[in-house]
Structure 1
Amino acid sequence: MAKWADYCISKLTLVNGWIETVIVYTDNGDSLSALPEEKKRTWMVAQVQAGKTFCSIRKNSTGTWNKIGDTSYDGQIFTWYSVPKNIVKRKAFVSYYHKDDEKYRLMFENLFDDLITSKSVKDGDINPDNSPEYTKMLIQNGYLQDTTVLVVLIGEKTKCRKHVDWEISGALDYKVGDKYAGVLGLFLPTHSSYGSEKYTRGSIPKRLEANAQTGYAVLRDWTEDREKMQEYIEEAVAMRENDDMIENKSIPQMTKDECE
């Protein structure tokens, strides 16, 4: 690939409208550096004064970085193309129907793997057929341990899959980690409620719907926009302070799949 700039910015932090820190990759001309570095504004200024250039980048659904546009500096103020915030990576457990929605799980990790630490179960990782044993193995194997946010990918058949129900139940169990997980439900483009202001009752997992009704679970449409997804995740994380709104133990766990 042609060189985009000397340094490529993937995330940044603002304080009072001014850049405080950035996450940058070095552009080697034919590729970006394997690992990014966190740098301060003073370093950026010194680099520009030394003749170095900057640009903003974002990932696509295959996990490939693309240039958004150039970053400029007028001697006092930087002007840049918008990128996600440079904040802590959230530990995200992705719950989904493996048969139908594996494509979106992979896209989610490709697009947002620098914003989250994915702890999802891949097809074949765990396969017990009862909820207590399944949840126990999720905890012991570290999938749900210290999970910050549970992300439910909502396709047409997600509502009738017992493992999704068990995963939501496990994430909302206080004994898993030191706090309840936040819950973010994402309507996939394959779901009938995608793009609608309201969803049809009964079209999403019962446990997810119960917590959406109380306001604890956040429901949003699937997006490939990295900044929007970061906002959605942070919304769900913020709801962890309202754990009195959680509905979990009063809802019986599913004992079988209700669709193929």
Structure 2
Amino acid sequence: MSGEPGRVRRAVRAFVTDDNLDLYLLVVAGFVFTVLGITGLVGLEKLASAVLALLAILAISQIKSRKLTQQITRTRTGAVALRAEFPADLIDRRARAYDILLVGLTMTRTVQGMRTDLPAILKTGGRVRVLVLDPGDESLMVVADRHRPHSQGVEHLRTRIRATLDDLTALRERHGGRLEIRVLSSIPSAGFNCLDAHGPNGVVCVQHYEFHPEGEAAPIMVFSKNDAPWYQRFGDEAERLWESGADWPSSAVAERSSVSPSNG
């Protein structure tokens, strides 16, 4: 018998501190006023006031529920889906972005797909940065070619990268604007599409460079601001890769291209 008061106190404490207490009270109050209205013990004016009060309590409960949902969304970690393909809206988001950082091995498909979008982005003052492997680094080309799923030779890889660099250089000469090109002397662990990463609606798309994949290298992950801490972490990695790159064309390349065969 001595434990009975303790159990009662614990039950009362649990009821009072329950997150759903407001809903319990709302159900009880609704039931009581329904009975009073049916029996005619309460007038219509008082019943209407009671209904408004119950609706106010219900609205407060909904607000609390939404705040809890938003808090869970803001604090979630590790909930990003692993994809086998790029998101369907990535091309459209890239075309609408104002600040773009692209990091990859060759970036041939991406740059060719952006030929019509890049001039518009540059014309409106947008910034585009592209980082690919250095085609002049022979040992890097050999290692990168071995990493690819279907090797077509070092020269084929070098040709693809140079085509990307030539396309970007021609676009910059034709349209001007903030188009920056760099080359990397090491193979990155992943490819990056960082779109307006410093803005509130930024996106960081990461493609893991799988060794000899049968199809598209995977997994592919898409992060938004809510995906802390990985959004910032992968965005920072892309920026570090960019900072480690060398401007293209380098002074040596520019000097070689300026020397004509007759002067050689």
**If each structure's strand is expressed as a fraction of its own residues, which one has the higher value?**
1
Q: Could you state the TM-score of these two structures normalised by the residue count of structure 1?
A: 0.30
Task: Give the structure with the higher percent helix.
Answer: 2
Higher relative contact order (CA 8 A, sep 6+): 2
- Name the larger-Rg structure: 2
